[in-house]
């Protein structure tokens, strides 16, 4: 694994950018995650509790649903990840992760929604009572190539929970779409797929179905990791390339050293001018990173820096089957400086060669 070398990175100008950029939705409130249907519709979450839809390039005026109590949006919590069922066109199931309160405690959970006639209702709870808090909720959910649901969870501000196999905090979880535990999970009868994470927020797979995740470090030392089943990623025992006594920890694919990226969105590009690159949307770093990988995807050979300080805090990055990318800003999350149009969803359209 390779430690970040800033001598091997480049900040590039917008004149070299191989995509045309247009805003397709504006004046949103912290658009957290996007999922794309087979018809090309965009379903996205706002952290305040609404699921919105962009259909035929236009934002529907009414939300699909606004979550009721005990839902809560506070600090870094609220409505976060979203995924569409692989058979969404037939069964109309959506999965989302959100924060809620119970007995004055904050938790997170994954629920399944049913969409009928442009309205959604809560169908069932898939995974419940994930420790939550004002910080470090993780929140990304993705359906993997194996048709299992992967969930990132933060340590909820209690670092040692990340090392506790009895807790679902500070983990990447893997469950079946009905909430059951797959029999091939690395820990019997447990949803835990990997442990030792501080606040992971991005998930993606490459052509070989290698799973990558990104997570926020305590002060710099943000990480991009290859996720292996059952592996321990070290938090809070180590950060960056450190070695833990008496514990085998997986070193990151790359980390930010003394710089801060605050990586949130992550996507491996499978089409278009950036095919084969790993893209990272950064919050505090206010940039889009493009990582060039070696053929087997286990080594970063170069890092490109794009859109530095052009759109502010960037939270989500996702690829459409047609090769377009969708990028969200997060300037209204309490840590940014919003402009008159924020927050936005930007479409990145490949330029003609």
- In the predicted structure, residue 8 carries a pLDDT above the cut 90: no
pTM of the model: 0.96
What is the tens place of the pLDDT at every residue in 191-246? Answer: 999 999 999 999 999 999 999 999 999 989 999 999 999 999 999 999 998 998 88
Region of residue 96 (phi > 0: left; psi between -120 and 50: alpha; otherwise: beta): beta
Mean pLDDT over 168-184 rounds to: 98
CA atoms within 13 A on the CB side of 171: 25
Contact 297, 248 (CB under 8 A): no
Give percent above pLDDT 90 in the chain: 93
326 contact partners, CB below 8 Å, separation of at least 6: 24, 34, 36, 42, 316, 317, 318, 319, 320, 345, 346, 347, 348
The closest of 169, 205, 173 to 187, measured between CA atoms, is: 173
What is the tens place of the pLDDT at every residue in 91-107? Answer: 999 999 999 999 999 99
Mean pLDDT over 160-184 rounds to: 98
- Mean residue pLDDT of the chain comes to 95
Contact 287, 294 (CB under 8 A): no
- In the predicted structure, residue 353 carries a pLDDT above the cut 70: no
What is the tens place of the pLDDT at every residue in 288-342? Answer: 999 999 999 999 999 999 999 999 999 999 999 999 999 999 999 999 999 999 9
């Amino acid at each position: 694994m390779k430690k970040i070398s800033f001598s091997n990175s480049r900040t590039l100008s917008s004149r070299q950018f191989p995509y045309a950029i247009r805003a397709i939705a504006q004046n949103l409130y912290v658009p957290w995650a996007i999922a794309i249907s087979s018809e090309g519709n965009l379903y996205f979450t706002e952290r305040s509790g609404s699921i919105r839809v962009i259909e035929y390039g236009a934002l529907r005026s009414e939300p699909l649903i606004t979550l009721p109590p005990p839902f809560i949006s506070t600090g870094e919590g609220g409505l976060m990840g979203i995924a569409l069922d692989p058979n969404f066109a037939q069964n109309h199931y959506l999965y989302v992760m959100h924060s809620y309160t119970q007995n004055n405690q904050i938790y997170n959970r994954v629920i399944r929604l049913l969409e009928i006639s442009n309205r959604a209702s809560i169908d069932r709870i898939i995974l419940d009572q994930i420790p939550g808090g004002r910080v470090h909720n993780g929140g990304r959910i993705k359906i993997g190539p194996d048709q299992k649901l992967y969930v990132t969870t933060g340590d909820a501000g209690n670092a040692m929970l990340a090392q506790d196999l009895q807790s679902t905090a500070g983990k990447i979880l893997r469950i079946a779409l009905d909430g059951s535990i797959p029999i091939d999970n690395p820990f019997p009868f447990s949803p835990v797929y990997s442990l030792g994470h501080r606040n992971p927020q991005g998930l993606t797979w490459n052509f070989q179905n290698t799973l990558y995740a990104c997570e926020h470090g305590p002060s710099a030392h943000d990480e991009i990791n290859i996720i292996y089943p059952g592996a321990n990623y070290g938090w809070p025992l180590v950060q960056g390339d450190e070695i833990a006594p008496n514990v085998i920890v997986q070193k990151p694919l790359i980390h930010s050293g003394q710089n801060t990226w605050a990586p949130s969105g992550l996507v491996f590009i499978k089409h278009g001018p950036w095919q084969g690159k790993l893209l990272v949307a950064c919050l505090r770093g206010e940039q889009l990173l493009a990582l060039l990988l070696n053929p087997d995807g286990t080594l970063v050979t170069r890092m490109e820096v794009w859109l530095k300080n052009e759109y502010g805090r960037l939270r989500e990055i996702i690829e459409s089957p047609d090769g377009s990318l969708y990028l969200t800003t997060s300037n209204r999350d309490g840590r940014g400086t919003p402009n008159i149009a924020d927050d936005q969803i930007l479409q990145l359209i490949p330029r003609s060669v």
